[in-house]
Structure 1
Amino acid sequence: MRDYIIILLFSTLFCSGQNTLPFPENGTSPKASLQDVSWMEGHWRGEAFGGITEEFWSPPLGGSMMFVFKLILDGKVNFYEVGHIQQIGETLLLQLKHFHGNLKGWEEKDDTVDFKLVKVEGNRVFFDGFTFEKISDDEVNLYVVISQDNKTEKEVKFNYKRM
């Protein structure tokens, strides 16, 4: 019993705060629609990576919700992301591309970074390593798993307030 309590305590201490889920190997995405994420529509601002972050999300239209993101460090754009959540059949797919502050792309011309839908649960929408969480109509959290040096992965929290 003592070993069970120690394992439970260890997993609670070190696994709490895990807000992202991986897409299961050989898994399939659940049914979902853009209505499940339509609350992201609008202009959002927060802080991360030692700077100011900003996102603009369009309303659902034409089978997608597009967005743009930018990170401002020391008064200058460090990088942008452009992307969308797209309705694919009866599920959703999050896709994005990164750009340096001068708009030179990170990914190859036809490549995107794709996040398959894992599940929709309450106020959270889980994509593979990327979670949207509605706190209120004027506050959201985004959790993203970021690889560092292609070796370690770290979950980063973005807290946004509606502008």
Structure 2
Amino acid sequence: MKKHILLLLLITSFSFAQNTLHYNDEKGSAKATLEDISWLEGNWKGEAFGGKFEENWSKPTGGSMMFNFKLVADGKVAFYELGHIIEKENTLLYQIKHFDPNLKGWEEKDKSEDFRFIKKEKNRMYFDNFTFEKVSDNEVNVYAYFEESKEEVVFNFKK
């Protein structure tokens, strides 16, 4: 019985992390523009981390798609994110800054978390540790790999 449970856990963890990729300096980034991910524009909602979130993406203008994110758990804001995907050197770069409920930044003043673009495939855009997947015009999955916990989490967004 223990062997079956262990095998099931191994299979589950293997299949669970197959939606994200890690950036490889030798391979670099594929060419891409904001038009390739313009389907992300809009106001999205979902549930995560024991609460409800909303994320709003602007249309591509000025070489950028800006977003804001808010997570509310137990009736209170847990944290915010502000960021963008920008066109840079014929490819894309995904950048995020986090803030606590009082708008105190998690990252240092002049720092952001940066995730380089890897490749595009049909309805998916792969960044380092993040994958944006268009399910339909009104549904998106975002897969995020967390280095510290070695876990991949899926966030389901709906308009």
Same fold at TM > 0.5: yes
Give the CA deviation at 1:32: 0.4
TM-score under structure 2 normalisation? 0.90
TM-score normalised over the length of structure 1: 0.88
- State the partner residue of 2:20: 20
SS of the aligned residue for 1:16 comes to helix
* Count of residue correspondences: 151
Cα shift at 1:156: 1.0
Alignment gaps of 5+ in structure 1 = 1-8
Distance 1:61-1:73 versus aligned 2 partners, 3 A rule: same
Whole-angstrom distance in 2 between the partners of 1:102 and 1:34:
31
* Number of the residue aligned with 2:71: 71
- Distance in 1 (alpha carbons) for counterparts of 2:43 and 2:105: 24
Q: What is aligned with 1:50?
A: 50
CA distance in structure 2 between the partners assigned to 1:113 and 1:14 by the alignment: 25
Q: Secondary structure at the match of 2:150?
A: strand
Question: Post-superposition, which runs of at least 4 consecutive aligned residues in structure 1 deviate over 6 A?
Answer: none
* In 1: Cα distance, 2:9 partner to 2:86 partner: 39
How many Å separate the matches in 2 of 1:64 and 1:92? 9
Could you say which residue in structure 2 is the equivalent of 1:5? none
**CA distance in 1 between partners of 2:35 and 2:118 (Å):** 16
Cα distance per residue 1:45-102 (max 9 Å; x no partner): 0000010011000000000000001110111110000000000021000001000011
Aligned residue in 1 for 2:137 = 137
2:95 maps to amino acid: Q
What do residues 21-59 of structure 1 show as CA deviations (whole Å, max 9, x unaligned)? 000143311100001110000000000001001100000
- Share of identical aligned residues, percent? 57
Q: What 5-or-longer segments of structure 2 have no aligned partner?
A: 1-7
Q: CA deviation at 1:12?
A: 5.7
Q: Superposition RMSD on alpha carbons, in Å? A: 1.7
